A and B are shown apart, each in its own frame.
Chain A
Amino acid sequence: MNSVSNKAIAKMKLRQSIKVMGVSAWGASASLLLACLCMLTGCNSKPAAFQVNEAYIRAVEYKADVTKPQMRDASTRLSTAQIKNVSEVLEGLFGTPDKPNLPGGVGLESFLSMRKLSVAAGPVIYTGDDQNSNGLESGLYRRHCAHCHGVTGDGHGPTAQFLNPYPRDYRKGQFKFKLTDADGAFKKPSKKDLNHVLMEGIPGTSMPSFRVLTEPERSSIIDYVVYLAIRGQTERALIDAAYLLASDNSEIPDNPNKLLVRFDSDEASNDLDYVRELLTPVVLPWTNNGTGSVQRTIEEAPAGWNSAESVERGRQLFFQSKANCFSCHGQTGVGDGQTNLFDNWTVEHLGNKPGDAAGSGPDGEIAGIPEYFYHNELAQIGVVPPRNLKPRNLRLGNYRGGRRPIDIYQRITGGIEGTPMPGNTKLTQEEGWSLVAYVMSLPYEAVSRPKTAPVFQGVGTSK
């Protein structure tokens, strides 16, 4: 009896409290449903879009006017109309992430396959019942690459900020590990080079091997990565050109005559011819008149290349100015010779110019890195914090470009594009291989061996 009345009182109290809130159970559930609906449908679900390279725009502006952004004159900035104009040209040339396009008349049609691009681009869509990648109709890039390298290929995917090193930003069109670099100048990678990276991954980084994919799938991804690189390079060229069209102080920034392509005017056709001129130096190094970049042939290592004498010759070269390895990799090869270096992708985010060593630029200095430009401009648009590039520790035996002797020979003689590692065109073949032998011997020198951890002897047994 007592308990029943207690229950009745509790029920009454609940009803009262609902009434006090002024909301009936019906109202509460309806609003909950509405809220859930809002969350599920999303409020801003646009189709996938390429992001404007705003970091580059900021860098270009900053180079021309190093004053603080809030003090910068509007005439030294690209106006929204100019940026939009560049985006329209770029979309006309290369399409969208869902519907890629190739500009005609510049030799790209024979170099990249539209069919491969359409398999790699777009949302992940399967045909057939099995959800394995062989049934993939489109979306290879978004399935396997975009989470790190970003839909735009800007190295700004959702996971990018958690990785070290950061994923590659393709938009500079520079790639590190390839067999095409010879005679001192860097060439574009061949598709074979890119396939090698997909097959082997990059040891010591978050880039895995993609051997699980079929050859046609890798080939499609390669074409798409090249497409993203060419698109990114074109964007940079267009931004440069738009910026140089500049307004002077007396003119309004949105003056139509300051647009790269003046649509709806008689000048549009001339302007598009100019865009074609800008596109040529971007595309030509890739297509190389149809053949694409060609890998150099490295003759086989001479007999005895890794003999004790050869290793000793390599050791001497390591410390001579002819090879100059010690200067960055350090006296002991642990990579402590020059530790305030940056790669090409990061240098751009520091806002300093050649000759401004880290910390000596007009930016002031925070912990040895001139971070003023980064903190005031780039951090606000989501660019990942700059990290410096340490020369490789050669005693670990981990080589990002591959551990075959031929890989190391190519790194020494061809250099690594985008990094401070130069190529050496003056070494004889014999000297080159001696250096390879010495570098590959470093992890096995006694000094490289890790100290053995003390063995725990158990309580009471230690002396």
Chain B
Amino acid sequence: MKLTTRFFQLALIIVIPCLLGCRRELPGDIGRTNTINVEEVSRSFQMQAGGGVGSQAALPEPTGFGNITGKITVDGSIDTSKFVNYAVNKDANVCSAEPNRRVQVNNGGLHWGLLFYDGDFKAGDDKWDHPEYQAEATAVLDGDLAFDQKACIFLSRIKGMRTGQTLKILNSDPVGHNAKLDGLTSANLQIGAGASVDYKPGFQESKPFGVSCSAHPWMGAYVIVRDNSLFAVSGEDGTFEIRNVPSGVSLPFKFWHEVIPSGSFAITINGEAVNLSRGGFELPALEPGQDLDLQITINADEFNNAL
């Protein structure tokens, strides 16, 4: 009796470490996938083999166009003591070592806030894509619309453009820069002093991507590429304007700012509290010819906590 007990004790002592030793939860070990679900995906795509584009759900027909204008206001003050100076380690005679002002608020208005339409869109369709914007679909963004850099700072913190457009990237510094664009169409372009290069994207992005300069790694900005013109970056005073927005259709929008990208927090739109879901919120459908005024207010704490 005693012998058997001892034997089991010994066996247990050996077996348990064996079991524990071998069991190692690997990263991303999320258990077994559901075979039925896996097969459903596989079957769905096999059925499409050679059949071209899948059946797209019919989009509602817009009834006309409206305009959206408004202002993004920050409630409270931004803790500017959290700004960190640009870590300049070369070209000090050219490059500014001032604090990197990641949140810029002027008289309460938020500069460099991005709003973009995040729903289905038919580019080139007169009902969706206003003829005025169709004409700009392949434009070259030059002059005031170009993406410039001076004193080793990108002059636009966020730049919006359309899929078919060409972005001129300028270098207004007396030193060489390069623009490293990490989008779906990635590029890294050398730009001599005073020269310019072209960036042609080609694919729509669901969120802004980073632009940096490898020669001056403290430099950074963002670009977003959309297949429509329904986006706006707020100006110095926080105001924005999105013209020719299709009316009669639901308008899922996204708010984005580099410090709180795709954040989930409460904002107020025209006095009403709205919960952003990873930056997303829904606007009511517009009437044809309607001019919607949007007053968006964000609590300064949202920025301060993330700075």
Using a CB–CB cutoff of 8 Å, the interface residues on chain A facing chain B are 21-24, 27-28, 30-31, 34-35, 38-39, 42-44, 51-55, 63-67, 73, 75-76, 80, 83-85, 87-89, 91-93, 95, 101, 103-106, 109, 174, 184-186, 240-241, 243-250, 261, 263, 268-270, 272-273, 275-276, 281, 284-285, 320-324, 327-328, 337-338, 340-341, 344, 353-360, 362, 381-382, 415-417, 419-426
Contacts and interface: CB of A to CB of B under 8 A. Distances in A.
A354 B7 contact: no
Given A52-B27, A88-B41, A354-B222, A422 B277 contact: no
Contacts of B186: 174, 185-186, 417
Interface in B39-72: 39-42, 44-57
22 contacts: A31-B10, A38-B19, A64-B263, A92-B44, A93-B41, A104-B48, A104-B49, A241-B206, A243-B262, A244-B280, A249-B275, A276-B54, A324-B178, A324-B192, A338-B214, A338-B215, A340-B89, A354-B182, A356-B220, A422-B179, A422-B189, A426-B192
Contact of A423 (B22, B188, B211, B262): B188
B176 to A, nearest CB: 3
Contacts of A91: 33, 38, 41
B87 A357 contact: yes
B41 A272 contact: yes
Contacts of A285: 184-185, 203
B217 A353 contact: no
Contacts of A358: 87, 217
Contacts of A340: 89, 217
Nearest to A103: B45
Given A54-B28, A88-B33, A240 B185 contact: no
Contacts of B277: 246-248
A273 B58 CA distance: 12
B133 interface: no
A320 B26 CA distance: 50
A237 to B, nearest CB: 9
B135 interface: no
B18 A39 contact: yes
A273 B54 contact: yes
A424 B33 contact: no
A263 to B, nearest CB: 5
Chain B, interface size category, equals 35 or more
Interface stretch (B107-115, B193-201, B243-251, B292-300): B193-201
Contacts of A54: 27-28
A186 B305 contact: no
A249 B264 contact: yes
B178 A422 contact: yes
B84 interface: yes
Contacts of A84: 30-31, 33-34
A105 B214 contact: no
B102 to A, nearest CB: 8
B307 interface: yes
B34 to A, nearest CB: 6
A104 B47 contact: yes
A248 B30 contact: no
Given A261-B41, A355-B220, A424-B190, A281 B184 contact: yes
Contacts of B280: 244, 246
Nearest to A63: B261
B187 interface: yes
Interface in B214-242: 214-215, 217-222
Among B19, B45, B56, max chain A CB count under 10 A is at B45
Given A104-B46, A355-B218, A23 B10 contact: yes
Nearest to B187: A185
B264 A76 contact: yes
B103 to A, nearest CB: 13
A354 B28 CA distance: 27
A318 to B, nearest CB: 11
A163 to B, nearest CB: 19
B92 interface: no
A185 B45 CA distance: 31
Contacts of A43: 18-19, 22-23
B260 to A, nearest CB: 8
Nearest to B153: A355
Contact of A34 (B2, B14, B37): B14
Contacts of A83: 28, 30
B278 A92 contact: no
Given A244-B280, A322-B195, A426-B192, A105 B48 contact: yes
A284 B3 CA distance: 70
Contacts of A73: 264
A391 B177 CA distance: 16
Contact of B7 (A31, A63, A250, A426): A31
B192 A184 contact: no
B283 interface: no
Contacts of B185: 185-186, 285
A58 to B, nearest CB: 10
A217 to B, nearest CB: 27
A109 B55 CA distance: 20
Contacts of A273: 54-57
Contacts of A185: 185-187, 199-200
Contacts of A270: 57
Contacts of B38: 88, 91-92
Q: Which 9 A-B pairs have the closest CB atoms?
A: A355-B220, A92-B41, A105-B48, A52-B28, A104-B49, A420-B214, A354-B220, A324-B176, A321-B176
